[in-house]
Amino acid sequence: MKKNNLLNSRRYKILNLSRNVVSKYGWNDLTFKKISKEKKINISEINLLFPNGFKEMIKYSLTCLNYDLEKKINKIDIQNIPLHRKIKKIILTKIEIMNNNKNFYKKTFYYLMIPTNYKLLTSQLYISIDLMWRLADDTSTDFNFYTKRIILSGVYSSVIISFLKKDNMVEIENILDNRLSKVSKIPILKNKYKNFITNFKKISKLINISPLKQ
């Protein structure tokens, strides 16, 4: 994501102006109208910047979140620590970023959890998990590539749900520590997740992610 791009810079500015509106009202078909009214922005401009509607803005907000995570992690030296500690640091860093706009992300994740948004939720979850493993310098291919992402998706999802419900970061970290034990059990769980791996392969093809891109 190039923030020096003029169009993208305007999209980023509109998104930031929209955060407190979404925090109050959530995401729905009236979101752009409410943003326009409360922030005195021409709705035609919002529609031009996000031609596919508010769901495009949701995806853009999560892209920006991943961008911010990658930027922060690249400034931290995590290369010489064990893998489970790398993953823990990456997830906690993302939670800390989201905590700065917690109500916005609560409304966003609650919207994504609506059953009709399953495909959007699944694709965005996959993108997030793939980024985490790449930031951890994981070089797995084939079976391990998908297995690790499936297991971490369960860990990350549990932490996100805890984040939405709790304000105590120490408690959230403890939950993460408990859930991360699953990462070390990847070889044991391979057979259990064969069907899920088939589905994950399909998702990765749809969003253009594969072991070959590692």
DSSP alpha helices (H): ranges in 26-117? 31-39, 43-49, 54-74, 83-99, 102-112
- Which residue shows structure tokens 């997830």? 91
Predicted pLDDT at 214? 40
Q: Which of 80, 86, 77 is nearest to 183 (CA)?
A: 86
The pTM assigned to this predicted structure is 0.83
Predicted pLDDT at 199? 55
Q: What share of the chain is helix, strand, coil (3-state, %, to 5)?
A: 80, 0, 20
Give the C-alpha separation, 15 to 170, whole Å. Answer: 30
Q: Residue 201 above 80 pLDDT? A: no
CB 152 within 8 Å of CB 183: yes
Predicted pLDDT at 32? 98
Q: Residue 189 above 50 pLDDT? A: no
pLDDT tens column, 115-148: 999 999 999 999 999 999 999 988 776 667 778 8
For the ranges 3-7, 27-31, 107-111, the lowest mean pLDDT is seen at 3-7
Would you tell me the crossing angle of helices 194-206 and 118-135 to the nearest 10 degrees?
90
Give the C-alpha separation, 59 to 20, whole Å. Answer: 17
Q: Residue 13 above 90 pLDDT? A: yes
% of the chain surpassing 70 pLDDT: 81
Predicted pLDDT at 84? 85
Cβ neighbours for 111, distance < 8 A, ≥ 6 positions apart:
26, 27, 58, 117
